[in-house]
Structure 1
C-alpha cells in the first residue's frame, strides 16, 4: 500500500511539473505569439494598397515609388458624429461636406481622400492620415522605358509584370468585439503589412545620366530621342524620347496624334549621312578604297538620269575619303558606294546589327535595309547617303558608334541586369550577349580619326559638337520634305576621343540639319555626363 501511495505521489508531482512547464511555455515563452493570435481574432482588415516590386537603375536608385502622397482615411462605423466628421474632412480635402456626408452614409469599410490642405488639430476617432507611395511621380524619369500600369501595360512594367506583381499589401486593421460586428473605438486602428517575396528589376540605366539627357531635351524643347551607351559594355545608360507623357494620366493621350507613346529611341528613321559611317567602314575594310584615293566633290552627280546633290550644291573639289567624310560630301560617297558595291555595304550594315533583333525587353524596331535588287542603278546613290529604303533607330546609331569606339568589337546593347530582392540581392541575372568583332582594329582606328575630323576640320559639319574632353562623331540630315526644307537631324559620336567611354546618339525629328540642331545637343549631354 505504501509503495502505491509513493508511486501515485511521484506521478502526480510529475504531472504537476509537466503542467507547470506547459503553462510557463505558453504564458512566457510563446506569450507574443499567442497574444497576436488572440488579437487577430478581434481584428478586421481592409486592404488599402498592393505592393509591387520597384524598377531600379544600375546603382539601385529606384525609378518607381520614389514619392509619397498623404491621404486621409475615414472608417464610417467608427465615427459617431458624422456631420462634424464631414466638416473636418471637407476642410482637409476641399471637397464639399455634403458630398462627404453622403459618402459616410454608404455601407463602405473605409473612404480615402487625398489631402489638399493640412490642419494642425487632432482628428476624431475613425479618421486618420497615412502616407502612401506613388508608383509614378510628376518628375519621374525614363517613362518610355519604365512604361505604365493600367488596363493596358507598356515597357518594363509589362515585360516584367509577373516578376513585379506580388501578393503583398498594406491594410487598415480595426479592433472588433467578440462577435466581430462592432468596432472598439477606443483601441483605434493600425497599419498591417502582409509580406510576401517582393522582387524588383535592376536595369543598366544610370539615374543621373538619364536625368541629364532628359533635362537637355526638355530645355531645348526637342521632339526626338537621345541614347547613351557605355562603350566597354554595351549597357544602355540613358534612353529618352520626346514628347513625353504623364504615367498617371494615360487616358489623356489615347486620341492624341503627337506620338507621346512612341519610343523614338527604338523606332526606325532615315539616317541620312550618319549611314556614311557604314559605307566608309565597308569601303576601307574591303580594301576597295584607301586614304590615298581622291574624288572630285562636284556638287551634283547623275546616275541614269537621277541627279543627286550635295548640300546646297556645294563643291569641295578634289578630296579623299577623310575630307569627304568631314564635309559630308554626297557625290564623293556615292562614288565610294559604287566602287565598294551594294552587297559589301549591306553586309557591313548587318554586321553592325541593322535588321537584327537584340532581344531587348521593350518593343524595338530592328531597322531596315533595301533588297540588293533595289540598289541597282540610282539605288546605290540612295544607299550610299542613307536615304531611300534605309531606316535606323537612334539606339542602333549609338551602337554602331560604340562598336567603332570599342576598337571594332560589338557589345550587344543590354537594358536589364537582374531580378533583385528587397535587399538588392540578385536572384536572377541576365548576362550580356556574346560580343563579336565587326571591324579590324586598324579600320576602327581610321574611322575614329575620320569622326574626329568631322568635329575639328575647319569645314567639318560637326564643329558644334566639340567638347572640353575632345569628341568625335558624324552629322546626318535626312531629307523629309525637299520643298519645305525639312530634315531629320542627327548627330552620333563618342567621348572622350582619346579614351572612349560614352557613345551618344541624338535624333531630332523634323529639325534642321544635324550640324546645326543635333550637334549642340550632343555637346551639352556629353559635357554634363563627363563632369558627372
Structure 2
C-alpha cells in the first residue's frame, strides 16, 4: 500500500511540475510580446518617423516663413571637367513683402518714383499678392544704390541667381528653361536641349530663398531679420563630354569671323566623344521670347540639322566603291571638264577645263566630279543607299537632343542615271547633318571603325566596322593630298598638318546660293580632333569653310 501511495505522490508531483513549467512559459511569452511591442514602437518613433517626418517638417517650415525664391532647385549642366557650361551668375532683384508695408498709399507713390512703374500697376500687384513677390529683376548698380539709399518699408533688394550668365556656352546643346521659373518655381521646366531631355533628373527639392521667419500668427520673430535659406535636396548635376576650353575657342572663332549661320562639331578622334558643338546664330537663354520671330532661326541647332552635303559626300561614295571592289586604288580616270549622263551634261566644277588623267586619290583630293560620277554609276542604286544607311546617314544618331534631323536619302527604285550622278557628288535629293558627317570622317581616321558620338558619359556606345584598314589608308592619303595640294589647301595647319574634304553644295535661290563645308582632322601624326565646319548659304567650301577649319584647329593646337 505504501508503494502505491509513493507512486501516486510521484505522479502528482510530476504533474504539478509540468503545470508550473507551462505557466512560466506563458508568462515569458507574454513578457516577450510586450517587449517586442514596445521595441516596435521605439523603432517606429525614433527611426522611421525621424526619417519620414522630413516630409512634414518642410511644409511646416514653409508656413513659418515669408520668402521669395532666389535660386532654382535645379542641377547644373557641366563639361567633362565639372565646369558649368551655362556660367551661372548673380544679379539684384527687387522684392515686395506686403506684411512689412506701413502705409500702402505712401509705398505705392514712393516705389513708383524710384522704379518708374505705373501706380495703378503697383496697386493691382498688391491686390493680387498677399505673400512676398518679385517686383522687378536684373537691377543695375545705379538702381540698387538709389533704392538702398532711400529705404522703403516692405521693399527689399535681394540677390538672385541667374542660370545663364553672359559667358554661357553651347547654348543650343544646353537649351533653356521657362523664363518665369525665377518667379514661379512651378515653371522650372526645360524647354529645349539637355534642359528638356533630362528634365526629371535635373529638377527636385526646394529653391533657395530670401525672407524672414514668422510665428504661427504670421508675425515676424523678433531679431530674426532678413536671411537667405539654402536649397533643400539639391538634384544631381549633369556631366557631359563637352570641353569648356574647346567649346569656348570654337565659339570665339565663329564670333571673330562673324559667321552668320553655321554649325561646328569637334570630336575626340580616339573616343568619338563630342568636345564641342556650336551653332550660329545663337540666342539669349534668359529671354528666348525675343527670338521667336527672327528670320535666321536662332533656335535651330545647325550642327544637328540636315543640309545638302556637296562634295564631302564623295568620300562616302568612294569608300563603298573601294570596299566592294567597284574601283581599284590605282585606277586612273580621264577628266575633260564635263561628263555626259544620258542627255544631261554635268561640268567638273573644280576644273572646267578638266583635270586630265587622275588617280583615285587625286580624284578625291581635287574633287573631280567626272571621276566620282563615273565611279558612282558603276554601283547599283540600292547599294548606294544601303551603304549610306550603314554609315549612319538617313537615321537619327543616339543623342539626347530633341529636334535632331535624320537627313534624307533617295528611294533606290526611283533613281535614274542622272539621279545617281547627282547623288555621287552630293547633290540632288540628299541631305545629311554635320554631326553625321563628322562621325563618318572619324571612321576614316580610325581604320573604318564607326562609333555613335557620345555627349553624356555612360551612354550606350554603338560601334561597327564600315570598311577595311586598306580602304581607310587610301582615303586618308587622298584627304591628306586634298589639304596639301587639292581643294582643301586653305585648311592646312602649319606645324601640325591636316587632312579633309571641302564641299560646296549648290542651291537654288538668292545669292550666295551654296553651302560651304569642310570636314577633316588634325594633327596628321596621332590625330586628336575631327572637325566639321558647315556654313549655311555662305559660299564655297575652299574659300569659306576651309580657312575657318584652319583657324579653329590652330586655336585648339596652340
Q: Note the alpha carbon deviations across 1:351-370, whole angstroms, 9 max, x for none.
A: 22112333211131122222
TM-score (norm 2): 0.79
Please name the residue that 2:65 is paired with: 44
The answer as to 2:352 corresponding to 1:313 is yes
- After TM superposition, the structure 1 = structure 2 runs for residues 491-502 of structure 1, keeping only pairs within 5 Å, are 491-502=518-529
- What CA distance in whole angstroms lies between the structure 2 residues aligned with 1:516 and 1:276? 19
The 10-residue stretch of structure 1 (106-115 or 513-522) with the greater mean CA deviation from structure 2: 106-115
The 10-residue stretch of structure 1 (213-222 or 469-478) with the greater mean CA deviation from structure 2: 213-222
- After TM superposition, the structure 1 = structure 2 runs for residues 422-441 of structure 1, keeping only pairs within 5 Å, are 430-441=458-469
- What CA distance in whole angstroms lies between the structure 1 residues aligned with 2:160 and 2:511? 51
Is contact 2:329–2:474 with CA below 8 Å preserved after alignment? Answer: no
Residues 270, 189 of structure 1: alpha-carbon distance in 2 compared, 3 angstrom cutoff: same
- After TM superposition, the structure 1 = structure 2 runs for residues 335-374 of structure 1, keeping only pairs within 5 Å, are 335-362=374-401, 363-374=403-414
Please name the residue that 2:17 is paired with: none
The 10-residue stretch of structure 1 (345-354 or 158-167) with the greater mean CA deviation from structure 2: 345-354
Please name the residue that 1:380 is paired with: 420
- What CA distance in whole angstroms lies between the structure 2 residues aligned with 1:280 and 1:398? 17
SS at match of 2:205: strand
**One of 62, 73, 78 as aligned partner of 1:56:** 78
The answer as to 2:200 corresponding to 1:200 is no
- After TM superposition, the structure 1 = structure 2 runs for residues 468-479 of structure 1, keeping only pairs within 5 Å, are 468=494, 469-479=496-506
Please name the residue that 2:172 is paired with: 144
- What CA distance in whole angstroms lies between the structure 2 residues aligned with 1:41 and 1:465? 60
Please name the residue that 1:514 is paired with: 541
- What CA distance in whole angstroms lies between the structure 2 residues aligned with 1:483 and 1:327? 27
Give the C-alpha shift of residue 129 in structure 1.
Answer: 3.4
Please name the residue that 2:94 is paired with: 72
Q: Note the alpha carbon deviations across 1:67-115, whole angstroms, 9 max, x for none.
A: 1112233323224366776687668756578976886687532243333
Q: Note the alpha carbon deviations across 1:479-499, whole angstroms, 9 max, x for none.
A: 103895621111000111111
Please name the residue that 1:263 is paired with: 301
The 10-residue stretch of structure 1 (497-506 or 197-206) with the greater mean CA deviation from structure 2: 197-206
Unaligned stretches of 5+ in structure 1? 1-35, 418-429
Is contact 1:226–1:506 with CA below 8 Å preserved after alignment? Answer: yes
The answer as to 2:277 corresponding to 1:239 is yes
Please name the residue that 2:23 is paired with: none
Residues 484, 306 of structure 1: alpha-carbon distance in 2 compared, 3 angstrom cutoff: farther
C-alpha RMSD over aligned residues: 2.9
- What CA distance in whole angstroms lies between the structure 2 residues aligned with 1:439 and 1:107? 67
Residues 199, 306 of structure 1: alpha-carbon distance in 2 compared, 3 angstrom cutoff: same
Give the C-alpha shift of residue 197 in structure 1.
Answer: 4.3
Residues 87, 496 of structure 1: alpha-carbon distance in 2 compared, 3 angstrom cutoff: farther
Give the C-alpha shift of residue 434 in structure 1.
Answer: 3.5
Greater share of residues in strand: 1
Aligned residues, how many? 482
Please name the residue that 1:108 is paired with: 130
- After TM superposition, the structure 1 = structure 2 runs for residues 129-528 of structure 1, keeping only pairs within 5 Å, are 129-150=157-178, 153-177=191-215, 180-184=217-221, 186-222=223-259, 223-311=261-349, 313-362=352-401, 363-417=403-457, 430-457=458-485, 460-468=486-494, 469-481=496-508, 486-528=513-555
Is contact 1:47–1:169 with CA below 8 Å preserved after alignment? Answer: no
- Larger gyration radius, structure 1 or structure 2: 2
- What CA distance in whole angstroms lies between the structure 2 residues aligned with 1:323 and 1:41? 73
- After TM superposition, the structure 1 = structure 2 runs for residues 80-99 of structure 1, keeping only pairs within 5 Å, are 80=102, 93=115, 95=117
- What CA distance in whole angstroms lies between the structure 2 residues aligned with 1:299 and 1:107? 76
- What CA distance in whole angstroms lies between the structure 2 residues aligned with 1:181 and 1:67? 33
Is contact 2:377–2:417 with CA below 8 Å preserved after alignment? Answer: no
- What CA distance in whole angstroms lies between the structure 2 residues aligned with 1:484 and 1:225? 20
Give the C-alpha shift of residue 528 in structure 1.
Answer: 0.8
Residues 320, 72 of structure 1: alpha-carbon distance in 2 compared, 3 angstrom cutoff: same
The 10-residue stretch of structure 1 (179-188 or 240-249) with the greater mean CA deviation from structure 2: 179-188
SS at match of 1:265: coil
Give the C-alpha shift of residue 470 in structure 1.
Answer: 0.4
- What CA distance in whole angstroms lies between the structure 2 residues aligned with 1:45 and 1:478? 61
Residues 48, 269 of structure 1: alpha-carbon distance in 2 compared, 3 angstrom cutoff: same
Give the C-alpha shift of residue 192 in structure 1.
Answer: 2.0
SS at match of 2:191: coil
- What CA distance in whole angstroms lies between the structure 2 residues aligned with 1:392 and 1:102? 53
SS at match of 1:187: coil
TM-score (norm 1): 0.83
